[in-house]
Chain A
Amino acid sequence: QVQLVQSGAEVKKPGASVKVSCKASGYAFTDKYLNWVRQTPGQGLQWMGRINPDTGDTYYAQEFQDRLTLTRDTSITTAYMDLSGLTSDDTAIYYCARGKFEWFSGNFDFWGQGTLVTVSS
């Protein structure tokens, strides 16, 4: 069965970076896009960007353009989300979510369990 398993909760200081992993199993990793979505009480659900696990091509939402890096390691079917320059506004639950259809990213049919990132001094 399809599973996306994310790394554990993180506590970071302002200005630091965080790297969250998303281990995929149960399907052909390189066939489906992986998206990253975060959820905050104030801003709700916010799409951050996506990666094509086959080519490594990425697309970032403008808001995160300067400090978000999405990567993947196909040998271990794992995607990574690296967010730098953290502020308290980045305190959120971060999700990876799979694109339902091959070569298209817009429908998120499987989600990781979420990773809570807390930014606090």
Chain B
Amino acid sequence: DIQMTQSPSSLSASVGDRVTITCQASQDINKFLNWYQQKPGKPPKLLIYDASNLETGVPSRFSGSGSGTDFTVTISSLQPEDIATYYCQQYDNLPYTFGQGTKLEIK
């Protein structure tokens, strides 16, 4: 199975900050990576697919980049409603696998 490693595990930032979360795959996954946002008590929400494509309705302050083994998701200007846990997920190989999550908090 492909292992997905996110960093950091948790992150504290201020409103308006630029925030970046990274995800590393244990082998080349081309561009086959999704990012999800999960708020407490809710299912995950698809933010970005194919590493850099913004899902419909997702604010443009979110962006994704990377290919191969190294990927990032960036929030250009952190808003209070962005407080959540973020997960990456590869879909290059079955079984699909997720990162362990990055919990984002407001400073």
Contact = CB atoms under 8 A, between A and B. Distances in A.
A100 B49 contact: yes
Interface string A23-47: 0000000000001000000001111
B100 A44 contact: yes
Interface in B15-71: 32, 34, 36, 43-46, 49-50, 55
Interface in B76-107: 87, 89, 91, 94-101
Secondary structure at chain A's binding surface: helix, strand, loop or mixed? strand
Interface range, B side: 20 to 34
A95 interface: yes
A61 to B, nearest CB: 4
A45 B44 contact: yes
B43 A111 contact: yes
